[in-house]
């Protein structure tokens, strides 16, 4: 650790004085902790090997490849690319009309930054935003003495309004696909029609004697131009409703057979009438 401190550049020592930075050895690793909001540079390409912590003090911090507070390089980065404003711990990114993204979503309006969000300036300058105080508040809202589920984390984030419009609904909240909904409704309609037909057939077998073949072709009630119970469906009404007869013997077997054939032609049900 002493050798690391001796090899630290002088500019790094000045940054250490402005922003309190704790260096903690964790086995074979080295952990950096800061008390104030800051950016962690993830490099601008494969050849970048340094890990840079950039403080975001109170007020405005400008970014760009020109003489800015934070100098960033890479394709798509303007000389005065954007600025980040710190107002009493509320951190807001102002894109200034240049290419800026928060959690892989391009922004065009001032956007509040939340703990842990990923920033991209231009096409390849990536940063992680850390807000220690905000992270501490989020941890304090989580249940203690147990594991933290994704739902608990999402609840805390929503309570603090930390998600900048990037929240995705969970699988339980997602509406069913249109195809699945149509298929489910169609299956329910088919089941209802088959159940009604079965009840009618049972009532005819139990209560009504077998009519003659000449009577089977006559419509119920002796009417010459009676409506078919399937008329709403056949005429494009869009409603697959089957009105049951007023009495068990009011429909003939011939009418049932005709209805069954029409349902088969429409593709509503399949199978032979003898299966019922």
Q: Model confidence over 86-114: pLDDT tens digits? A: 999 999 999 999 999 999 999 999 999 99
Quickly tell me which residue has 């603090």 as its tokens: 160
pLDDT of residue 196: 76
Rounded to 5°, the CA angle 179-182-187 comes to: 120
Question: If pLDDT is split at 50, 70 and 90, which confidence band does 259 have?
Answer: confident
What is the per-residue pLDDT for 207?
52
Give the CA angle between residues 26, 32, 36 to the nearest 5°: 145
Three-class SS of residue 201?
Answer: helix
Q: Which of 193 and 253 is assigned the larger pLDDT?
A: 193
DSSP annotation of 87: E
| Domains of the chain by start residue, with CATH | 36-159 (2.60.200.20), 178-275 (no CATH)
Give the model's confidence band at 137: pLDDT under 50 very low, under 70 low, under 90 confident, else very high: confident
Higher pLDDT, 138 or 257: 138
Which residue has tokens 């169609």? 186
Measured CA to CA, the distance from residue 261 to residue 255 in angstroms comes to 10
Confidence of residue 29 (pLDDT cuts 50, 70, 90): confident
- Sign of the Cα torsion 152, 156, 159, 164 reads negative
């Amino acid at each position: 650790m002493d050798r690391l401190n001796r090899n630290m550049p002088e500019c790094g020592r000045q940054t250490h004085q402005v922003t309190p930075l704790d260096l903690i050895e964790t086995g074979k690793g080295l952990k950096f902790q800061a008390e104030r909001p800051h950016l962690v540079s993830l490099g601008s390409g494969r050849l970048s090997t340094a890990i840079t912590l950039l403080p975001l003090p109170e007020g405005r911090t400008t970014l760009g490849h020109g003489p800015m507070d934070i100098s960033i390089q890479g394709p798509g980065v303007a000389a005065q690319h954007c600025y980040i404003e710190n107002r009493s711990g509320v951190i807001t990114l102002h894109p200034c009309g240049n290419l800026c993204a928060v959690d892989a979503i391009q922004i065009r309006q001032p956007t509040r930054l939340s703990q842990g969000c990923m920033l991209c300036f231009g096409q390849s300058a990536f940063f992680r935003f850390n807000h220690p105080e905000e992270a501490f508040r989020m941890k304090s809202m989580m249940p203690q003495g147990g594991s933290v589920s994704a739902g608990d984390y999402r609840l805390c984030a929503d309570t603090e309004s930390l998600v900048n419009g990037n929240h995705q609904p969970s699988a339980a909240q997602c509406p069913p696909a249109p195809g699945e909904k149509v298929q489910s409704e169609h299956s329910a309609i088919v089941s209802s029609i088959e159940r009604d037909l079965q009840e009618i057939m049972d009532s005819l077998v139990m209560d009504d004697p077998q009519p003659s073949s000449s009577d089977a072709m006559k419509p119920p009630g002796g009417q010459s131009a009676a409506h078919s119970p399937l008329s709403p469906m056949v005429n494009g009404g869009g409603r697959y409703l089957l009105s049951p007869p007023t009495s068990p013997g009011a429909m003939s077997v011939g009418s049932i057979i005709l209805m069954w054939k029409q349902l088969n032609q429409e593709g509503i049900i399949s199978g032979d009438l003898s299966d019922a």
